[in-house]
Amino acid sequence: MQDTADGQCGPVALVTGAGRGIGRAVAEKLAAEGCRIVVNDLDPGPAQEVADGIVARGGRAVVCAGSVTGHDFPDRFVGAAVQAFGGVDIIVNNAGYTWNAYLGAMSDEQWDTLIEVHLTAPFRILRAAQPVIRAAVKAEQAAGVPVPCRKVVNVSSIVGTAGSASQANYSSAKAGLLGLTRTLAKEWGRYNVTVNAVAFGIITTRLTTAVGADSTTEVGGRPVTVGATESILSVLESGASAAPLGRAGTPEEAAGAVWLLCSPESSYVTGQVLECAGGLQSV
């Protein structure tokens, strides 16, 4: 972990999709625990708002806005961390959204887009980070200092462990992310990097609340409806009430689960999937 000019040397954490919802709560939680944050969001405004809030509370944060699927994004994202803070210690792959349809009506574009966002983008970000992490570890070993335990947390879903009707694209991508997690845990153990995933259940965010007037965003020049239709909302509400805890989770509770896998106390936990779903097994 690199010292900065002002003497701050907390872990450097990169969080995708951190302008709203779970990602925002994760960025704020990590900052509260002393991390320096690279805030990503598709929209620069929300990302800057999160970063400004962290700085106002005495933390350190910079913004790297843009789509995680952009060809140059992985290098920009990792480069922002290196330029601002000197390295990479924590990566949280959180960004994403849903685009539902039953299999017979699902287009190639729907399939390809969700796989790209939820599986290919994390793969490319982690690939871009590997040379930086490897170089840091070699430098630490050469200097005879302890190699810190760095962390990767990939955000999956119980839809990726159990499936969900009308979400073949999303569930396949989230299931694939678990395979990536377990494989990278085996590859990066030699760098003292733990790689884990959190599988969320129903968390109250824009994705799980009713479609409203501000529910449309633009991704790659295409309007995307962010929110739940009436039929999906009824399924989510039923699922939340069926959870042993009897309710949906909050973004702050979701962030707490991510922090468990980023904290020093989880330094001997790797290749695991933590379900944060209130006990709910499927929707």
Q: Which of 203, 224, 204, 201 is nearest to 275 (CA)?
A: 201
Amino acid found at 148: P
Catalytic (active site) residue 170 = yes
- Compute the distance between CA of residue 181 and CA of residue 100 in angstroms, rounded to an integer: 24
Buried b (16+ CB within 10 A) or exposed e, 35-56: bbbbbbbbeeebbbbbbebbee
Collapse the DSSP code of 222 into the 3-class scheme (helix H, G, I; strand E, B; otherwise coil) and give the result.
strand
Instruction: Say if CB 168 and CB 277 are below 8 A apart.
Output: no
**Kind and range of the H or E run holding 121:** helix 121-143
Q: Which of 50, 4, 47 is nearest to 31 (CA)?
A: 50
What single-letter DSSP state applies at residue 207? G
Contacts of 150 (CB under 8 A, 6+ apart): 11, 88, 89, 90, 133, 191, 192, 193, 194
Instruction: Name the active-site residue from 97, 170, 191, 268.
Output: 170
- Compute the distance between CA of residue 171 and CA of residue 188 in angstroms, rounded to an integer: 25
Return the bridge partners of 195, or none.
Answer: 152
Q: Catalytic positions, please?
A: 170
